[in-house]
Amino acid sequence: MYYGCLEDGSEVAVKMRSESSTHGLDEFLAEVNSLTKVHHRNLVSLVGYCWEKDHLALVYEYMSRGNLYDHMRGKNGDETLDWATRLRVVLEAAQGLDYLHKGCSLPIIHRDVKTTNILLGQNLRAKVADFGLCKTYISETQTHISTNAAGSAGYFDPEYYHTGRLTESSDVYSFGVVLLEIATGELPILLGHGHIVQRVKQKMATGNISSVADARFGGDYEVTSMWKVVDTAMACTADSSDRRPTMAAVVVQLKESLALEEGRGDSGTRVSPTSDTAAFASTYGPSAR
């Protein structure tokens, strides 16, 4: 990705197509096709594109604050994001994905939802980026897309991987992994420790949310808000797609979680991560589905 500046002073990000491979051309065309159709405040805008001989480039609006992955880990000299900010960022990303699934004339499935593809602009406003792997339904009656599995390790929907049947719920699964990342501060896959879904399930069984939450919060978060997000994430990452919520339902849950966290801040109270945790576990912790 390259930084650029247009004649009118607008800042842009330029993505060059990878060395002339057929796959790179397919991704380039898919991204152009999708981004010319979608317009939403939480999706990165396509300013234009260039295609000159073997040189292909996409020109995007510039997102000056980088990506969610780096900000959670305090890279580039920034402080790690607090719980309220992480919640607001993923809520905005969820709204962008919900638009792709239900707001377009035909559903668009992103297929590569991850924290590095959630970009941040001024005031840390979030937008979903990188549509190179996306797929679009071809009719209103279509229920899935049959295609070879593609995506990023750790975020893959296992059902899609095994069946080749791509649906909106595949994005929901990937987004559930993103939610677990923002709650725990951990990578999706840790060598020798398995996948984040299994790791969080084991920790949730203790009934103590402080064993799940990112230690960098220092206990500074509203317990019910944290449980709600973790529980929503576990629903998103259910093995069977028909047990997962829609992105619209996820948006509702995240709005409620953010309201709980912001309400705590307004009241000036600080909830200890270990206080009354077991009481919340029955509602927002592990449950039969």
The pLDDT tens digits of the residues spanning 103-139 come to 988 899 999 999 999 999 988 999 999 887 888 887 7
Reduce the DSSP state of residue 3 to 3 states and report it.
Answer: strand
Q: List strand residue ranges (DSSP E) for the chain, in order.
A: 2-5, 11-16, 46-52, 55-61, 108-109, 118-120, 126-128, 135-136, 145-146, 165-166, 189-190, 194-195
Neighbouring residues of 135: CB distance < 8 A, sequence distance ≥ 6: 30, 108, 109, 111, 145, 147, 166
Give the dihedral sign, CA 96/97/98/101. positive
Measured between alpha carbons, how far is 196 from 207 in angstroms, rounded to an integer? 17
Chain mean position to CA 29: 23
Average confidence (pLDDT) over 57-66? 89
Report how far apart, in Å, the C-alpha atoms of 79 and of each of 76, 198, 216, 268 are.
Answer: 9, 28, 10, 22
Tell which residue, 185, 32, 37, has the closest CA to residue 99.
37
Measured between alpha carbons, how far is 206 from 103 in angstroms, rounded to an integer? 40
Chain mean position to CA 123: 18
> What confidence score (pLDDT) does residue 274 get?
44
Q: Determine which one of 26, 82, 98, 112 is catalytic.
A: 112
Concerning whether 112 is annotated as a catalytic residue, the answer is yes
**Position of tokens 């397919």?**
26
Please, which pLDDT band fits residue 80 given cuts at 50, 70 and 90? confident
Average confidence (pLDDT) over 59-77? 86
Least confident of 41-55, 166-180, 267-281: 267-281
Q: Under a CB-based contact definition with an 8 Å cutoff, are residues 204 and 285 in contact?
A: yes
Average pLDDT taken over every residue of the chain: 85
More confident residue, 277 or 21: 21
What domains lie within the chain, and their CATH numbers? 2-61 (3.30.200.20), 68-284 (1.10.510.10)
Q: Under a CB-based contact definition with an 8 Å cutoff, are residues 267 and 222 in contact?
A: no
Average confidence (pLDDT) over 195-212? 95
